[in-house]
Structure 1
Amino acid sequence: MKKQLLGASVVLLLSACQSNSISSSSNVENASATALAGATQAKQSEAQRLNILLDQYFKEVMVLNPIYATFVGENAYNDKFPAPLTAENRAKELAFEKKYLKAIKEIDESKLEGQDLLSYKIFKQDRVMAIRGTRFGQHMLPFNQMYGIHNFFATLGSGASAQPFNTAKDYYNFEQRAKGFALFMDSTIEVMREGIEKNVVLPKAIIEKVIPQLQAHVVDDVKSSVFYGPLTMLEQNEKISASEKAKIIASYSKVIEQVIIPTYKKTLAFVTDEYQQHGRDSVGLSALPKGKAWYEHQIAENTTLALTADEIHQYGQQEVARILGEMKKVKETVGFNGSLPEFFTFLKEDEQFYFSSEQEVVDAYETVKADINSRVGQLFEVFPKADYEVRPVEAFRAASSAGASYQSPAPDGSRPGIFYINTHDLKAQPKFIMETLSIHEAAPGHHFQIAIQQEVEGLAKFRRFGGYTVFAEGWALYAESLGKEMGLFTDPYQWYGRLADEQLRAMRLVVDTGLHAKGWSRQQAIDFMTANSSMAASDVESEVERYISIPGQALAYKIGQRAIRDMRTKAEAALGDKFDIRKFHTQILIDGALPMPILQAKVEQWVEAQKKA
């Protein structure tokens, strides 16, 4: 999954927002204090104390991050926006994490079992990692071309995301939320000025990609704004009276004209007139203050494993070489007589491998969806209730977005999952990646994992709506490897697409560590990926700049896949004829996203239970 969440995944997008969102609400503090006190009553069992604590934590997070609340179906906060990125609010964020770390430590782990024990371990680890992360200067880099509230808010306000626009109150809610957005964006300017003073700034290449994203929302006519989309939808709404519609159109248009557009204009002026001249020539995290330790933290946070940049880099190099060997076999199978680089050129340039229109891309993926849906029963016994739709990425963010991404469905079933395909550059969407990309982003990849997680009854809410990159992306890449088992990849070019996708993930290990730990330049990274793949030049550039912007995230895919595959291999060896692939997949998915060490321990326990069955 390519994270703009939100790539590509909403969980990732929202966790980025949450890390910078603390409210000064006395109601939150009072409610929290009451619940924490209740959680310490001696008469309650440790499990009861834990669940009270976790429930209160989730309720408090809803207030602290109201956009997250909207996505998980808590609509009472639809008019609110995360608090500005002030020093005071960041201090409250740290206090919030320390408070819950102290509270979880007061619960006796030895008296917990099952889901309660899993929740305890996950929650405690999350608080520790969140506190460690505050040592670095992430708040001074509040947005980039891949992630940022400037893009996310536009998607939310387009009317095609989680923000509801069904009633008059929904429209008025978003008007209020827009005012909060304006205050938040003012605070991003202040922390980016702090970044200039402390030499924690974006690379020049990244700033250049952010500018057109901001410019897209500085329009003269409100009707040409993406934020006018909900007013277009209003015309077909039979639940709202004509007189109320007139009021909404007037007030909502005014907010677009006097709040939203000026906010983007102000931010754009700051970036172009002030910030851009301070952009850095270096691209790696190691070039920033505390950069080495910062990147080590990113590795730990994104993989949940104790790995070094050097060992990840070496593993990546080995995998790149192995996959190149598999690609040569495909070249020979299809009878191509030239060299592997010439085969790459052939795949990049021959028109037979490319679509001619956006609609053709979407239609083709709908066909693949139907085919995969007919096969997944071979390997799975648990399926998501929610469906998913195939959609093109919106024009305003397509130029700098990943090739594909997934957005989770609404928990109440009112909105399906969305498999986004970026049709901005048709040469970046070759036909031979259709099967593997659909598996990864939709079924049985991200859609299965995220939708099932949301649908598990009784799962603590912080787990239902949280996640780990290494689990989500590791699962999706592992899911790709199931294609042949499901009877897919019979076309050698589709199999090449699977190899190309895995090669991308292997190259990421090399490039991400190269950029952030070994002093690689942007061009070095581009050259490496160009030499070892048939990716379009625009896609290579977008990928490299993604790794520059979000250090460590790209490591999670291959590392997670390797961990899950190792668990399966050991389970197969231990169980022999007793091994059931469908039950193994249930074990991986049914408890939601877990850190790899916790998942491994859980699978080992399951294996021992199966031996005795």
Structure 2
Amino acid sequence: MNKTLLATTISLFLAIQGCGENTQQVASQAAEVKTDSVDVDQSAKATYLKMVDDYFNEQLKLEPIYATFVGINDYNDQFGDVLSEEYLKARHDLNAKYFSLAKKIDVTALPADLKLSHSMFIYDRDMDLMSETYPEHFLPVNQFYNNVFTMVQLGSGESAQPFNTVDDYKNWLKRLDGFIAWMSLAKTRMDQGIESKVVLPKVLVDRMIPQLSAQVVNKPEDSLFYAPINAMPESFTESQKDQLTEQYKAFIAAKLVPALTDLRDYVQNTYLPNARASDGWWGLPNGKAWYQQLANRHTTTKMSVDEIHQIGLSEVKRILTEMDGVREQVNFEGDLSEFFASLSSEPEYFFTDKQQLIDGYMALKDSINAVLPQYFNTMPKADYVVKPVEAFREKSAAGASYQSPAVDGSRPGVFYINTYNLKAQPKWGMTTLSLHEAAPGHHFQIAIKQELTGVPQFQRFQGYTAFEEGWALYAEYLGIEMGLFSDPYQYFGKLSDEMLRAMRLVVDTGLHAKGWSREQAIQYMKDNSPMAESDIVAEVERYMAIPGQALSYKVGQLTILKIRADAETRLGDKFDIKEFHDQIITSGSLPMAVMESKVNDWVESKLAKQ
């Protein structure tokens, strides 16, 4: 898996957690199929399953943090030698080896489901190898994603890192040792980035300084990394508790805080003065080509950035027209900009208490769950809960996000709401946000993916942003058919969120391919939506940090809608919405072309039965 995409996935969702099976056992089971059988399909199937599970096991050794997030605990004491030359070579060798092996598989002998899986595997290895063309390792941190955030979340005891035994606590200290080594190597890579002029924009570096400063504490007990000590299991003896407390205090004071201080000082005193003035990827060496590659990777398409930009402009125009229709429907006397201003400022549209906002989403959960059986045969076994974003990251976090459940049932999915600025969480935006982040959006797609059986492990835990975000945006659209937008203000909220995704096509490409400034991008979004300015600024700076990712939402949604429309046209009254949804979400996350091929095969199969 490409390191940048892995990091982004962890940051946006913390979504690859909780594998209930041992991967070595899966590989062994595959190997037990008789390869000398006259049944060629069984031989090809066994060869393929063993190959992809061998790859998955080797990847876990190379990416120990990833292993923890998928529930494999063999490497919980390791951080990983990421950013080193040895790691980069090992990652290349892994992808090159398995790309070659996959090409040798007799695809025609595979059953239909594994032909699909094979296409995904080939696509991934090809994209990973192509990504090596660009020096992403010179940009190891940004304000939206960095390993400090990940390690704090892991150390909270509420994420994937287990804290059930004394050995778990000792493993965490060993992993923190690796984290300290990573911070030192990150500075080296950023130095190389300065020499190569591959650096972040100044404003993003500015944003990182307070984030790092928040981790520089005077007393170990004030550190977020001290959290496991405050939640030691009752089964620990007093002696064990005392010993661990002293070890954590000494480690945080003598090693961790000095390393974090050193990284903060480096970012502030060395990196910031050398950060770039340009806001987009075009300002980097070979930046436009790099951005096109990122756009293709995130959307899983071959669309040009110019084409994406034009689609965005067209969608913004269409949605503005619909928004104006809502303004007329509710008899608002001012123009659209005044309607935006009213919706963004009038007290009636906002909660005054953070818990009221959380409670409102829990009530929405019940009303949405009541209609889901009419549209889905397959629903996740796991439940989800609604929680506020943690205080340490709420100032820079997105307005909402989703964290997947553990497959073993030990942890539900989490729908995170950022309660830092209640003016950025209007009541009229709640229905669409719940549909997107929870059910039937991210919670359905990601939880069902993790619960799949009989598929290779990589298929359960990898993700394509265009598919996952495209599905979540499709889930917003599905809310119309479900009758959840009878309130015109809630429908306006749906349009507002859709506008955000349409503006992303314009702004992301504008920033990275057309020379737009940060201020120009902010102004464009202010002119075309009722979003709070704090949200707009955070959005634009997110696009600056992870270029191309924001394109995937609208491109993915439009692709799913097109595939559905084609299937409805061809099948007529034979089209079944529940069966269609099964085709989309019961094979894991898919590249757009692979998804289209799968649905086409389903349509052909149904037509053949007529």
TM-score greater than 0.5 by the shorter chain: yes
The answer to whether the 8 A contact 2:30-2:46 is kept is no
Regions of 4+ moved over 4 Å:
11-14, 34-44
1:441 is aligned to 437
The equivalent position to 1:510 in structure 2, one of 499, 506, 510, is 506
1:154-233 mapped onto 2 (5 Å cutoff):
154-233=152-231
2:4 is aligned to none
1:11 deviates by 4.4
1:9 is aligned to 13
1:228 deviates by 1.7
1:35–1:456 distance in 2 versus 1, CA, 3 Å? closer
1:249 is aligned to 245
The answer to whether the 8 A contact 2:358-2:388 is kept is yes
CA distance in 2, matches of 1:112, 1:400: 47
CA distance in 1, matches of 2:90, 2:60: 15
1:45-444 mapped onto 2 (5 Å cutoff):
45-234=43-232, 237-444=233-440
1:378 deviates by 1.3
CA deviation profile, 1:469-498 (whole Å, cap 9, x unmatched): 000000000000011222211111111100
1:357 deviates by 2.1
CA distance in 2, matches of 1:256, 1:119: 45
**Matched position secondary structure for 2:12:** coil
**Matched position secondary structure for 1:481:** helix
The answer to whether the 8 A contact 1:39-1:49 is kept is no
**Matched position secondary structure for 1:531:** helix
The answer to whether the 8 A contact 1:158-1:229 is kept is yes
More deviation, 337-346/411-420: 411-420
1:105 deviates by 1.3
1:563 aligns with 2:566: no
2:3 is aligned to none
Aligned AA (2:53): D
CA distance in 2, matches of 1:143, 1:267: 11
1:38 deviates by 12
TM-score (norm 2): 0.94
Aligned AA (1:142): P
Aligned AA (2:243): K
CA distance in 2, matches of 1:129, 1:457: 26
CA distance in 2, matches of 1:449, 1:91: 33
1:223 deviates by 1.4
**Matched position secondary structure for 1:305:** coil
CA deviation profile, 1:158-187 (whole Å, cap 9, x unmatched): 222111111111111111111011111111
1:592 is aligned to 588
CA deviation profile, 1:252-278 (whole Å, cap 9, x unmatched): 222222232222111101100100000
More deviation, 258-267/567-576: 258-267
The answer to whether the 8 A contact 1:345-1:534 is kept is yes
CA deviation profile, 1:446-476 (whole Å, cap 9, x unmatched): 0000000000111110010001000000000
The answer to whether the 8 A contact 2:470-2:556 is kept is yes
1:500 is aligned to 496
Aligned AA (2:481): E
The answer to whether the 8 A contact 2:31-2:50 is kept is no
The answer to whether the 8 A contact 2:399-2:535 is kept is yes
2:21 is aligned to none
Aligned AA (1:114): A
The equivalent position to 2:530 in structure 1, one of 530, 534, 540, is 534
2:447 is aligned to 451
The answer to whether the 8 A contact 1:405-1:441 is kept is yes
1:398–1:51 distance in 2 versus 1, CA, 3 Å? same
The answer to whether the 8 A contact 2:17-2:68 is kept is no
Aligned AA (2:146): G
CA distance in 2, matches of 1:111, 1:164: 42
1:12–1:334 distance in 2 versus 1, CA, 3 Å? farther
1:609 deviates by 1.1
CA distance in 1, matches of 2:108, 2:8: 40
1:612 deviates by 2.9
Aligned AA (1:599): M
The answer to whether the 8 A contact 1:8-1:404 is kept is no
1:411–1:611 distance in 2 versus 1, CA, 3 Å? same
1:154 deviates by 1.1
Q: Would you say how many aligned residue pairs link Structure 1 and Structure 2?
A: 590
1:42–1:126 distance in 2 versus 1, CA, 3 Å? farther
The answer to whether the 8 A contact 1:390-1:418 is kept is yes
CA distance in 2, matches of 1:37, 1:565: 40
CA distance in 2, matches of 1:35, 1:185: 40
CA deviation profile, 1:360-417 (whole Å, cap 9, x unmatched): 1111111111111111111111110111111111111111111111111112221111
**Matched position secondary structure for 1:45:** helix
CA distance in 2, matches of 1:124, 1:401: 34
1:438 deviates by 0.5
CA distance in 2, matches of 1:66, 1:41: 32
Aligned AA (1:528): Y
The answer to whether the 8 A contact 1:509-1:555 is kept is yes
1:84 deviates by 3.7
1:500–1:12 distance in 2 versus 1, CA, 3 Å? farther
CA deviation profile, 1:336-371 (whole Å, cap 9, x unmatched): 100101111111110111111221111111111111
CA distance in 1, matches of 2:395, 2:227: 20
1:42 deviates by 7.9
The answer to whether the 8 A contact 2:450-2:460 is kept is yes
More deviation, 544-553/158-167: 158-167
**What is the aligned-residue identity percentage?**
49
1:545 aligns with 2:541: yes
1:466 is aligned to 462
1:41–1:255 distance in 2 versus 1, CA, 3 Å? farther
1:301–1:13 distance in 2 versus 1, CA, 3 Å? farther
CA distance in 1, matches of 2:68, 2:443: 19
1:70 deviates by 1.1
More deviation, 258-267/472-481: 258-267
2:22 is aligned to none
Q: Identify unmatched segments of 5+ residues in structure 1.
A: 15-33
Aligned AA (1:212): P
CA distance in 1, matches of 2:502, 2:372: 26
The answer to whether the 8 A contact 1:11-1:466 is kept is no
**Matched position secondary structure for 1:8:** helix
1:52–1:369 distance in 2 versus 1, CA, 3 Å? same
2:25 is aligned to none
CA distance in 2, matches of 1:67, 1:462: 15
1:581–1:492 distance in 2 versus 1, CA, 3 Å? same
1:17 is aligned to none
CA distance in 1, matches of 2:412, 2:485: 27
CA deviation profile, 1:92-114 (whole Å, cap 9, x unmatched): 22122111111111212222222
1:331–1:7 distance in 2 versus 1, CA, 3 Å? farther
